[in-house]
DNA sequence: AGTGGCTCCTGAGCGC
DNA sequence: TGCGCTCAGGAGCCAC
């Protein structure tokens, strides 16, 4: 499931392939995957525009087109955006193919939760889904003080707070569990009960786990691929996610798997307090 | 404000 | 081999 490190990896790999290229045509195979401007045909709107830049906000990938349009993509669970240097056939999960003046870009999504929305560039930041997002955890604006303020203002379990995109943008189930393990904090702790030393460890845990995730080019637990179709490597480094019932890599205790804040959560009862 | 449930959707995994 | 079931999950929405 593409979280911040995966979307960042897609952005970086895609950038090298599509920047400056022109979209010469678009084929839509499953129309709910694309959201156009009211009353406008998506393919017609996008055709003949040049890809001028790529960006990321939280788990959203932004593709800036000439003529003041932005494509906003959310991959949800199984979305993929892959560049092929040669034309190739679409498979059963391909929902859109963007022909470029060299090669083509395939958008596919097994579970059909992802969306590609097109908006005028000047409206993008005001789009509710983007406007509500919390700080970027790898930007300078995200500081220990900022995290403390974000958490102290809530009365909820820390796991739920970290998953909330309005609190911090870009964390999902994998990186939240990993950050909490590194910080030694139980996921069901109330945010208001966290001590300053714990918030400090959590801050470090979040930043490190995301940076290492990006360095490993993302986590391919199951479906994730970058824009070249390659897997990431961070699944090798995961300490808790997907390891319920296995031994803790730190202390040997059997890891607990439990629903917390509505999500499957894995943690160590000995290492996390 | 917080919580819990539902929805979207497909494939994997399991018991029989 | 295959059927039917459960589960996985990001985020928007709704009721309480």
Q: What's the pLDDT tens digit per position in A31-59?
A: 999 999 999 999 999 999 999 999 999 99
For C11, nearest residue by CA–C1' is: A76
Model pLDDT for residues A83-123, shown as the tens digit of each residue? 999 999 999 999 999 999 999 999 999 999 999 999 999 99
Residue A213 pLDDT greater than 90, yes or no? yes
List the A21 CA – C7 C1' distance (angstroms): 42
Q: What is the pTM of this model?
A: 0.96
List the A113 CA – C3 C1' distance (angstroms): 27
Q: Which residues of A are catalytic?
A: 2-3, 59, 263
Alpha-carbon distance of A214 to A5, in angstroms, equals 5
In chain A, residues 219 through 258 whose Cβ sits under 7 angstroms from any atom of nucleic acid strand C:
none
Task: Note the pLDDT of residue A113.
Answer: 95
Question: If DSSP codes are grouped into helix, strand and coil, which group holds residue A43?
Answer: helix
Model pLDDT for residues A118-143, shown as the tens digit of each residue? 999 999 989 989 999 999 999 999 99
Any idea which nucleotide's C1' is nearest the CA of A114? Answer: C10
Alpha-carbon distance of A238 to A177, in angstroms, equals 9
Task: Note the pLDDT of residue A189.
Answer: 96
| Burial letters A184-213, b for 16+ CB under 10 A, else e | bbbbbbebeebeeebbebbbebbbebbeeb
Residue A205 pLDDT greater than 90, yes or no? yes
- CB contact at 8 A, A270 and A251: yes
List the A157 CA – C16 C1' distance (angstroms): 20
Alpha-carbon distance of A97 to A85, in angstroms, equals 13
Q: Tell if A47 CB is < 7 Å from nucleic strand C.
A: no
Task: Note the pLDDT of residue A222.
Answer: 83
């Amino acid at each position: 499931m593409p979280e911040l490190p995966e979307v960042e990896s897609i952005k970086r790999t895609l950038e090298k392939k599509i920047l400056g290229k022109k979209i010469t045509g678009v084929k839509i195979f499953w129309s709910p995957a694309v959201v156009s401007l009211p009353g406008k045909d998506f393919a017609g709107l996008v055709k003949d525009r040049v890809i001028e830049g790529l960006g990321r906000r939280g788990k959203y990938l932004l593709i800036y087109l000439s003529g003041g349009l932005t494509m906003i993509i959310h991959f949800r669970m199984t979305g993929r955006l892959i560049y092929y240097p040669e034309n190739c056939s679409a498979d059963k999960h391909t929902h859109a193919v963007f022909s470029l003046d060299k090669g083509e870009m395939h958008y596919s999504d097994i579970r059909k939760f992802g969306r590609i929305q097109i908006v005028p560039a000047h409206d993008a930041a005001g789009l509710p889904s983007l406007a509500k997002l919390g700080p970027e955890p790898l930007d300078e604006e995200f500081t220990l003080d900022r995290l403390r303020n974000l958490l102290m203002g809530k009365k909820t379990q820390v796991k739920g707070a970290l998953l909330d995109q309005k609190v911090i943008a870009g964390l999902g189930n994998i990186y939240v569990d990993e950050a909490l393990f590194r910080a030694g904090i139980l996921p069901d702790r109330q945010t208001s009960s966290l001590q300053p030393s714990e918030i400090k460890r959590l801050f470090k845990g979040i930043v490190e786990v995301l940076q290492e995730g990006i360095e490993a080019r993302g986590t391919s637990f199951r479906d994730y691929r970058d824009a070249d179709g390659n897997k990431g490597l961070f699944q090798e480094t995961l300490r808790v996610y997907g390891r319920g019932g296995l031994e803790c890599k730190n202390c040997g205790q059997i890891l607990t798997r439990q629903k917390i804040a509505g999500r499957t959560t894995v943690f160590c009862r000995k290492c996390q307090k």
